Amino acid sequence: MPKLTNDQVPIVAAALIRLRGDTLSAIAAATDIRAANLSVWLRGKAQVISAKRVAGLLYHLGIEGGQLRSDVLHQWQDSGLLSDTKTVLDALLTNEGTKWLFKDLQPALTKTRFMQVNNAWLRLEITASATAAADLSQAIHANRVLTFRTPLSDVPTDSLSDARDTLLAMAEQMAVDVGDQELLEGLMARLADLSAGDLVFNTASASEWTRLEGALSRALRLGVSPSAIAKLIDDGAKEAHLSDATH
C-alpha cells in the first residue's frame, strides 16, 4: 500500500473535495477548520493546519490511515477525463490491489459506475467532457469488469450494505446465468472477506443481523454447504477469543 507523502496530501484532498462536490464552507463547518486556512493549505502552505486537523479533514473526505474508508459508500462525480479519480486512486493504491468495476449499458450523458477497491466501495457518476471520455477500466487498472443490462442508477445508496449487497446479488445472478465459475469463485472470496468481519460481533443490532442474513443467503445460493458456513463462524469466533486472550 503506497504511503501518502506530505506533498501529496493537499493534492489528494483537493481532488476529493471536487469529486464529492463539497464547498470549503461546508467542510469548515464539519471539521472546525477555518475556510481561509483550508484554502491556503490546499494551495500548498502546510503550516496553517495542524497534523491532527489534517487527519480529521482526510477522515471527513473518506480516507483513514492512508486508505479509503471501508465503512462508508464513497460517492464521487468526475468528468470524462477522470483526472481527479486517477489522482486519488494512484496515490492510495498499487496495481496489485483488488479493483472490480461494475458498469451498465445504459445510454446517458452521465453514466453511473460502481467500484470495489480493496475493501472500499465507490459510486461514481461520470460525465464525458465536450471533447473526450477516458476508459474507466483502464484508468483504474480494473481486475474485473462486470457489465449489466440493469441500470446501475437504480442501485440503492441509502447505506453501504444496501449498495454492496445489491451489486453482489446482481453479480451472482450474472455468474449463474452465464456459467462463469471464475466469477463465482471470486464472489465467494468477496463473501468470505466480508463475512469474517460481519460474523464476529458482541452486540445484536438489527442492521448486523440483516447483514448476517444476507451473507448467509448469498453463501447458500452459491452452493456453500452449511458445514462450511459453520466452520467459518467457528473459526472467526476462535480468532476473536484468541485475540481477546492475548490482550
> Do 166 and 105 share a structural domain?
no
> Does residue 145 sit within a domain?
yes
Distance CA 195, CA 7 (A): 37
* 197 and 172 fall within a common domain: yes
Last residue of a domain, one of 117, 132, 153: 153
Same domain, 162 and 143: no
Question: Which residue, 132, 153, 174, sits at the end of a domain?
Answer: 153
Per-residue pLDDT, 204: 45
* 161 and 147 fall within a common domain: no
**174 with 193, same domain?**
yes
Distance CA 217, CA 132 (A): 43
What is the C-alpha to C-alpha distance for residues 69 and 71, in angstroms, rounded to an integer?
6
Q: Does 134 lie in the same domain as 194? A: no
Q: Please check whether residue 227 lies inside any domain of the structure.
A: yes
The per-residue pLDDT of the chain, averaged, comes to 81
Report the distance separating Cα 119 and Cα 99, nearest Å: 9
Read off the pLDDT of residues 46-70 as tens digits, 9 standing for 90 and up: 778 999 999 999 999 999 999 999 9
> Which residues span the domain enclosing 93?
8-153
- Over the stretch 18-45, which tens digit does the pLDDT of each residue have? 999 999 999 999 999 999 999 999 998 8
For 193, how many CA atoms within 13 A lie in the half-sphere containing its CB? 14
The verdict on 166 and 241 lying in the same domain is yes
Q: Give pLDDT tens digits for 81-107.
A: 899 999 999 999 876 677 899 999 988
Do 129 and 31 share a domain, yes or no?
A: yes
Instruction: Tell whether 163 and 177 lie within a shared domain.
Output: yes
- Say what the pTM is: 0.73
Same domain, 178 and 148: no
Are 129 and 81 in contact, with CB atoms under 8 Å apart? Answer: yes
Category of 82 on φ-ψ map: left (φ > 0), alpha (ψ -120 to 50) or beta:
left
Q: From 153, 188, 220, give the residue that closes a domain.
A: 153
2 in a domain, yes or no?
Answer: no
Examine the domain organization and report whether 32 and 109 are in the same domain. Answer: yes
Number of domains in the chain: 2
Helix 226-245 vs helix 206-221: crossing angle, to nearest 10: 140
Distance CA 124, CA 103 (A): 10
Q: Residue 195 pLDDT more than 90? A: no
Q: Are residues 24 and 58 in the same domain?
A: yes
Residue 98: alpha-carbon gap to chain centroid = 11
